Amino acid sequence: MTDRVQELARINRKIPKIDPVFGPAIKNLAKCTFGVTKPTQTHYQSLVRAVIAQQVSSAAARTIGGRLKEKCAGSITPAKVGALSLTELQGVGLTGAKVRTIDELTQATLSGDVNFKRFPYLADHEIMEELLPLFGIGRWTVEMFLIFQLGRLDVWPVGDLAVRRGWDLLHKNVKPIKPKALDQLGEQFEGMRSVVAWYCWRAS
């Protein structure tokens, strides 16, 4: 077993000791695998695809992503995207706002203002500080990047409706929990909040 698999196994044992309601969820739902396997996309590609996916269906996101990949001769890289005009970017089906976001991300990557090679050595909040100033990249997008691309284990995305819904279902809440209240409840899970979020997602 890899170190991360062992770490996740320890976390799965620890979470129900803090909040027993998660015991059945951890036993019966798909196990969390954050950071176990290497990402299939580069960090840049992951963020570009996250931007493409904002407020569109999964099918539409795949179509637009496929068109962009075709425009980039089979590989979405900063250099290839940077060589496209804004009109060409919009032509793959992106909105004007998404074109601006992808363009800013691309230019920041090419200039070194965003240096993905440094990310393994940066804390979560430092990565937030690097990405949030870019137009169209909000907290939720960075949180998903930290969790699913970087495999960070202590991200608590209380702004995610599915996380809150899963929490409510697991705890049989009559009234929907507010993000601020859930943020405070997450403090007891410090160091493993991404994993708790995983089981909330799976339960939602």
For the annotated catalytic residues, the residue numbers are 160
DSSP designation for 204: -
Cα–Cα distance for residue pair 175/2, rounded to 1 Å: 41
Question: CA geometry: angle at 49 spanning 167 and 134, to 5°?
Answer: 90
Question: CA of 42: how far to CAs of 116, 148, 150, in Å?
Answer: 9, 12, 10
Q: At what angle do helices 3-18 and 193-203 cross, to 10 degrees?
A: 70
Radius of gyration of the chain (CA): 18
